[in-house]
Amino acid sequence: MPDVRPELPPELHAERIEQLRERMAARHLDIAIVWADREHSAGMSFLSGFDPRFEEAILLIGPDGEPAILVGNECFGMAGAAPLPMRRHLLQDLSLPSQPRDRSRPLAEILLEEGVRPGARVGVVGWKTYADRGILEAPSFLVDALRTLVGPSGVVENAADLLIDPADGLRVINDADQLALFEWAATQTSGGIRRLLDGLRPGMTEREAVRLLDWNGTPLSCHLMLSAGPRARLGLLSPGDRPIERGDPFTVAFGIWGALNCRAGFVVEDAAELPEPIRDYVPRLVGPYFEAVAEWYRTIRVGVTGGRLHGVIARRLGDPFFGIFLNAGHQIHLDEWVNSPIWADSPIVLRSGMAFQVDIIPATGSPWFTTNIEDGIALADEELRATIASRYPGMWRRIEARRAFMAETLGIDLHPDVLPFSNLPAYLPPFLLRPDRAMTLRL
């Protein structure tokens, strides 16, 4: 485990703003408006180092000069401490209900001052893209004000792809410093999952079990998920007070900024404890799943298309029994799901710097429940690998140890481009009360 959390170089955010400006110019955009709320703040945090708490925030980036940030009452001071210098505007309509609204100017007046004028071309960066760039997920009070100000000769369009395009978005291609943060995060989440698997016992409640994750307060990328018994089949639920029983289906997911790990199985020691009709749980579901994920791992590298990865899973787990309907993996950043280049016939070529979740979910909808082996990896060409090894030697030693474990213990040989970040890489115990027994391709 790393001793301390890596820190991003202070100048990195200003460099990211300039990279965004280059892309704005290529799209003929005069200004970018980045919208953030508590759930969807990764884009703003990536650019500025600031993420709103309790409130929403608006970041305005013109062709030059310092960006401007619009924040409410409680975030005004915090925005001033961000690593990116920004001109602050108090917009109290971003504050919580019934808080003071007596010290801020109208939104339209601030936007006009910041360059949103008749005829301007404005790109709005939220957190999704759509087939029609005219569709925006920012709130209507902001979008209405923008469209009124630019008038019929201007443009207000979705520009989220500048950050999250699955082929080359700014948040999709990561540098060594950002990847070091993600690797640190993965050690925290995978360590939590390991503590849980080692300590899980029938009779403890779901809330008692989730304490084994030992969350240290790092911002979550999604809510903590842990459920057993009938609730486990819904997958996304938070822990409750129900005691975990021997024989229960069980699932857990733990995600913080930059990482997530998930495991699922049955709270038993061996197949004999399962109901007779599903005692073939391993040969029917877990074995084929593990073999498919192993081939996915062996296939992924810089230069492979997303379509090829999709094909691996479609060929091996295409039977309707497995219920695979989401993408066979996706990109991760501060948010758990940035985008995915992996779908049928996807021509997108995977690039150095991309960080992925090996997130391949069988939703059988049957008594066989599911199995899951979700971990994080990154792709790095020779140059990026050398930078990581030089700048973050501890991280590099951990990566090499994980690669050796996967090859020597699990029988999964990785291309040199593939950097596993989880301390439980591809570790899959189907019977959760025997964490010492895991799937392997080694005889």
Which pLDDT does position 443 carry in this prediction? 74
Do 2 and 187 form a contact (C-beta atoms < 8 A)?
yes
Would you give the distance in Å from CA 258 to the centre of its chain? 6
Phi, psi of 147 (to 5 degrees): -65, -35
Per DSSP bridges, beta strands 249-256 and 355-357 are: unpaired
pLDDT tens for each residue of the chain, 443 residues long:
888 899 999 899 999 999 999 999 999 999 999 999 999 999 999 999 999 999 999 999 999 999 999 999 999 999 999 999 999 999 999 999 999 999 999 999 999 999 999 999 999 999 999 999 999 999 999 999 999 999 999 999 999 999 999 999 999 999 999 999 999 999 999 999 999 999 999 999 999 999 999 999 999 999 999 999 999 999 899 999 999 999 999 999 999 999 999 999 999 999 999 999 999 999 999 999 999 999 999 999 999 999 999 999 999 999 999 999 999 999 999 999 999 999 999 999 999 999 999 999 999 999 999 999 999 999 999 999 999 999 999 999 999 999 999 999 999 999 999 999 999 999 999 999 999 999 999 87
Give the integer Cα–Cα distance in Å for 274 and 266. Answer: 8
Burial of 50: CB neighbours in 10 Å, binned 0-12, 13-18, 19+: buried
Q: Which amino acid is at 224?
A: L
Give the integer Cα–Cα distance in Å for 61 and 23. Answer: 12
Question: Would you tell me the crossing angle of helices 176-199 and 382-391 to the nearest 10 degrees?
Answer: 70
Cα dihedral: 318, 320, 325, 329 (round 10):
-40
Question: Which distant-in-sequence residues (6+ apart) come within 8 Å of 169 by Cβ?
Answer: 161, 162, 163, 338, 339
- In the block, which residue shows the tokens 């973050």? 392
Would you give the distance in Å from CA 359 to the centre of its chain? 11
Which pLDDT does position 1 carry in this prediction? 82
Phi, psi of 278 (to 5 degrees): -115, 20
Which pLDDT does position 231 carry in this prediction? 96
C-alpha count within 13 angstroms, C-beta hemisphere, residue 75: 28
Query: Which tokens hold the place of 92?
Result: 């109290």
Would you give the distance in Å from CA 178 to the centre of its chain? 13
Query: Which tokens hold the place of 275?
Result: 């109901």
Give the integer Cα–Cα distance in Å for 76 and 95. Answer: 10
* Domains of the chain and CATH, by start: 12-164 (3.40.350.10), 176-420 (3.90.230.10)
Which pLDDT does position 10 carry in this prediction? 87
Which pLDDT does position 3 carry in this prediction? 80
Q: Which amino acid is at 298?
A: R
Question: Would you tell me the crossing angle of helices 393-405 and 176-199 to the nearest 10 degrees?
Answer: 50
Give the integer Cα–Cα distance in Å for 395 and 401. Answer: 10
